[in-house]
Amino acid sequence: MIIMALNCGSSSVKYQLFDWEKKEVVAKGMVERVIIGDSFIEHDVPGRPTYRLEEDCPDHRAAINLVIRTVTDGECGVLQSVSEISAVGHRVVHGGEHFTRSVLIDDQVLNAVKEVQHLAPLHNPPNIDGIEAAKYLMPTVPHVAIFDTAFHQTMPEHAYLYPVPYEWYEKHGVRRYGFHGTSHLYVSKRAAVLLGKPANECNIITMHIGNGVSHCAIKNGISVDTTMGLTPLEGAVMGTRCGDIDPAIPSFMMVKENLSAKEIDGLLNKKSGILGITGRYTDRRDVIEHAAAGDHRCELALQMEAYRLKKYIGSFMAAVGRLDAVVFTAGVGEMGAVIRERAIENLEHIGIVLDRERNAGAMTRKRESLITTDDSPVKVFVIPTDEELVFTEDVVAILEGSYTDHMHFPYSFAQKGFVRN
């Protein structure tokens, strides 16, 4: 059984093919610069050089068609024909309140996703385009939606509502939804295994840190709070997003700079965060390098990001009570030893005792690492995330009729003997 995972962004299509019987990735890759021109695909097969082809993809249908042609190509492909694909799992960023778990896509599900696309105008439209394109190109294959927001639908009302007129929630769905749900699900389950405890007995803070950044407070195995809100703009300092700011700043700057609502939204989402502070960089490797060379604004960006991370550890610790572990994941979380150290140093008073040598050695996307001392009351792990594996297992379980929800479904990676390929 071959499962395809698709993640369609505004100008990209990321894909992976997973052989369920062999429990291994057989191919993965990405089509970049979809719609905007100079498109190309990079296709990776274990044990082979990366294959690259430049081909114009004016829309997501063309991009997915390029993916299908590539994976079935006689020379660079891995399949004889598209009929070998048993099902497709689609990442959908926003499911609103409609979806608390992954679901088989039919017209009703697709319409429900369309109804909430105004809540994620940068993400849901390309997700929808990808679903429609894939269904057109692979009409006989089951398609499954996996929602970023589903994992967080266990948050209590007092955590997900905002102190604004209640009618905004009733009429327009204004509330906290949260994102990166599949990542938080995966690493929290893995942390429970590393702790040697059932997931429903673990209190964990998971910190997904990449260009986008979100943290999750997990109490007894379920999400009770998270940093991203109605949109992915709220919360931590991010690559280009501002995160938490005084809500009066947008209207203040709209008056001062004569900006429209669309312009201020673009500035807060695309020109703020690490980029806004440094004026040049979003990649934390560049920031760390130039901070070490004496660039004040890069050093300031590191200080601001680490300070926000530290504050969220403290606030989420208050939310979950007794804390078992903190988990760092995603690109920066897995590779940014400097940022991790600054975020958790001097937290001995709340039970976190950093081992600097272990932390410095945890610079890989392939190994799970403990970066606190053996006697640290609260453990801190670096766990590489695997959202595509969550996609795959949800899809297979839905096909087999065995899927329930993340609290009860026996994911392979939540088992003691799991070995990541």
Active-site residue set: 148
Burial status of residue 67 (CB atoms within 10 A of its CB: 0-12, 13-18, 19 or more)? buried
Q: Taking a C-beta distance cutoff of 8 angstroms, is the pair 104, 142 a contact? A: yes
Residues in the chain: 421
Residue with tokens 């995330």: 385
Q: Within 11-123, where are the H helices?
A: 60-71, 107-115
SS3 414: helix
For residues 58 and 61, what is the distance between their CA atoms, to the nearest angstrom? 8
End-to-end CA distance of the chain: 17
Residue 272, sorted as left (phi over 0), alpha (psi -120 to 50) or beta, turns out to be: beta
Instruction: Please name every residue paired with 214 in a beta bridge, in sequence order, or none if there are none.
Output: 208
Residue 243, sorted as left (phi over 0), alpha (psi -120 to 50) or beta, turns out to be: left
For residues 56 and 73, what is the distance between their CA atoms, to the nearest angstrom? 18
Q: What angle do CA 365, 368, 373 make, to 5 degrees?
A: 125
Instruction: Please name every residue paired with 27 in a beta bridge, in sequence order, or none if there are none.
Output: 17
The residues, any chain, with a CB within 8 Å of residue 124's CB and separated by 6 or more, are: 92, 93, 94, 113, 114, 116, 117
For residues 417 and 168, what is the distance between their CA atoms, to the nearest angstrom? 47
For residues 255 and 375, what is the distance between their CA atoms, to the nearest angstrom? 54
Q: What is the DSSP string of 108-162?
A: HHHHHHHHTGGGSTTTHHHHHHHHHHHHHHSTTS-EEEEETTGGGGGS-HHHH--
Among 47, 57, 18, 12, residue whose Cα is nearest residue 30? 12
Pairing of strands 143-147, 85-92: parallel
For residues 220 and 197, what is the distance between their CA atoms, to the nearest angstrom? 11
